[in-house]
Structure 1
Amino acid sequence: MTNANVSFQNIAVKYGLLVGLAHIAYFLLMRLLSLINIVELSYLSGLFLVAGIVMAISKFKRIKGGVINYFEGLGIGVVTAFVSSLMLALFLVLFVTLFDDTFVDSLSASALFPEGLSILTMFWITVAHGTWPGFFIAFIAMQWFKRQDHTTPKKI
């Protein structure tokens, strides 16, 4: 892949899909272990988002010859987070519609979601709760990646 053919969107979508798959696998594992009703555990999947964004920014910077524009890094974070949360939201809609219509009620019973939660509201909350952290994670990561020397160890 030459750096002329690479856009931050392509890399962000690729890593967003991988993070989305990790979110879905984590959800299914929680379901298998009967931990699905402990909503707070679902926030641990944010670690997948952190790892995905950092790896995507790192790969993009490496492909671009060690130079990354600050806003490209932020874009990678937002797009990666949006794609992964959209994927999870679509999966949750299918899951609730086809397999477990009581899941929305259990979410609504927790203090983290509004009473009378609908499937559409669950969808949009999932997208929003997944996308906003991507911006903040990328903002923090770019403090490191914007430096020219972040990949080369300093010699003492």
Structure 2
Amino acid sequence: MATGKISYQNVSIKYGILVGIAHIVYFLIMGVLGLHDVIELSFISGLFLVIGIIIAISKFKRLSHGAIRYFEGLGIGATVGVVSSVILAIFLAIYISVFDATYLENLQASALFPESISLLSLMLLTVIYGTIPGFFIAFIAMQWFKREGHSMPERV
């Protein structure tokens, strides 16, 4: 990226896409291992969101020569959350509609989701479950990144 054209939106969209892909890969691995029935395991993918937001904020700070405003960091977290969860929601809609409608039935049978959950409400919940935590993760991470002296270790 050129130095003058660095924007937190570009960085956060890039990492949002990567986190969304990580969510999908994890979902598919769970399917191959026959773990789709264990709904609680799907929440482990939240670690991808945490890691993606921290790396995105760090990358933006490095590209902007150590300068990051607090609200840019919050924007990165929220945007990574929105982009990754929209990607996952679209994938889930396609997966349930085309490949495995029983997955939605498993969600309905679990205690974590309402019995009347529809595909559309699942998509909406997926986006909400990515966006709100993304904002809060960035809020917590910015307590560290807002300091001028903070730096991430360089790659070897």
Normalised by the shorter chain, which TM-score bucket?
over 0.9
Asked whether 1:87 is paired with 2:91, we answer: no
2:64 alignment partner in structure 1 = 64
Q: What amino acid does structure 2 have at the position aligned with 1:33?
A: L
Percent of aligned positions that are identical? 58
Structure 1: gaps of 5 or more residues: none
- So what's the TM-score if we normalise by structure 2? 0.95
Shift of 1:126: 0.6
Cα distance in 2 for residues equivalent to 1:92 and 1:152: 35
1:103 alignment partner in structure 2 = 103
1:31 alignment partner in structure 2 = 31
Cα distance in 1 for residues equivalent to 2:8 and 2:152: 22
Is the partner of 2:5 in helix, strand or coil? coil
Asked if the contact 2:58–2:152 (Cα under 8 Å) also holds between the matched residues in 1, the reply is no
Shift of 1:4: 1.8
- So what's the TM-score if we normalise by structure 1? 0.95
Shift of 1:152: 7.5
1:138 alignment partner in structure 2 = 138
Structure 2: gaps of 5 or more residues: none
Aligned length: 153
Cα distance in 2 for residues equivalent to 1:126 and 1:152: 31
Cα deviations by residue, 1:58-103 (Å, 9 ceiling, x for unpaired): 0000111101000000000000010000000000000000000111
Runs of 4+ with >6 A deviation: none
2:150 alignment partner in structure 1 = 150
Shift of 1:39: 0.7
